[in-house]
Structure 1
């Protein structure tokens, strides 16, 4: 049975302030926890159901993290998932380390992405298309938010993030490099030639797009041509479309 202190601690990690104070975060669900176990994250402890523990005993035995056996009801009581019949982990967050753009890679820049589900989806999409670095504005939602971690489906273990003031970052790092940004009015994505030496791709806020301050650094304004009548695209979907076009084009050169 989970102790009151452990329950209180896990619940505190649902709040950004306490995640930062403890430098820890929650990972829920079998797939995400297995990805965590296969990563370089330091794990504080694991809560597992007997079924999960038995099924993955060989993997769990390779780790020194404290493992406590609990019921599915206990997991659902402390986690954010409505249903969780496998496991929950608490791991240590990583330091906010500077990320540079190295040729020929593309670095994704996120300007004020507020929805945790959107950020998690973008991380998953970035992982799919081989993007390993994401630079986020300070007001972008927290990478370690439980909803972000869950939506990334384990991709958070392979994609690095750096939170910073974007104008300052771009001033020092974008000179002479391609900086493509997603806008409602701009050059058709299908006509744009992504450079072989890489660069930056900026995605803006769900409602307001890329801020004026950040837009000043954009060298190419890109638009996904609309064929039908939909008013707009979700930022996660838009990111996927842009990265897919970038990867297909680069692979053909």
Structure 2
């Protein structure tokens, strides 16, 4: 019942929910072709932690029901609505400000970030696609403080830092 050599002692069975309408309020996270199951699982888990109820994925993003994704979510998959969509169409139809994570963007630290916005994270190897890049209004980045020998941050780690900055000024509920 498990793909692991040393599986957990518990097993849960869930029905795959019908994809409903996503909320147009709050922070929405968009993933552009994220391929690594561990990254997607981690992203779903921090969406749950930060109260992001909707995660929009490109049709080329790894399946959220991949066993490695499910395991990495540690149950958060049951509390975050995940939608697979044509991202270009989705962004063109949105009225909310669109932020994208780029290596050459403006430092996210010290920015006044809105509560109602869209944050786009790109593919692990290639970043955000050119088609989506053209639809992003605000290019943001996490500044480097080291010797600049590291190529980039892992997409899940970078996303968590950026989401934390969006959520920083919201009062805890």
Same-fold status (TM-score > 0.5): yes
1:33-48 superposed matches below 5 A: none
Paired residue secondary structure (1:108): strand
Unaligned runs of 5+ in 1: 1-77
Which among 5, 18, 22 is matched to residue 99 of structure 1?
A: 22
Q: How many residues align?
A: 170
2:114 and 2:166 in contact (8 A); partners too: no
Paired residue secondary structure (1:151): helix
- Report 1 or 2 for greater relative contact order, CA contacts < 8 Å, sequence distance ≥ 6: 2
Q: Which has the larger radius of gyration?
A: 1
Paired residue secondary structure (2:14): strand
- Is the alpha carbon distance of 1:226 and 1:88 closer, same or farther for their aligned partners in structure 2, counting shifts above 3 Å? same
The aligned residue for residue 232 of structure 1 is 152
Asked if 1:246 is matched to 2:140, the reply is no
1:143 and 1:149 in contact (8 A); partners too: yes
The aligned residue for residue 103 of structure 2 is 184
- Is the alpha carbon distance of 1:85 and 1:208 closer, same or farther for their aligned partners in structure 2, counting shifts above 3 Å? closer
Paired residue secondary structure (1:170): helix
Paired residue secondary structure (2:99): strand
Large movers: runs of 4+ above 6 Å: none
Which among 105, 108, 114 is matched to residue 195 of structure 1?
A: 114
* CA-atom RMSD in angstroms: 1.6
Q: 1: distance between equivalents of 2:11 and 2:23?
A: 33
TM-score, length-scaled by structure 1: 0.64
Question: In the TM superposition, what is the alpha-carbon distance from 1:85 to its structure 2 partner?
Answer: 5.0
* Cα deviations by residue, 1:147-192 (Å, 9 ceiling, x for unpaired): 00100111111111110100111112x23x2111100101111132
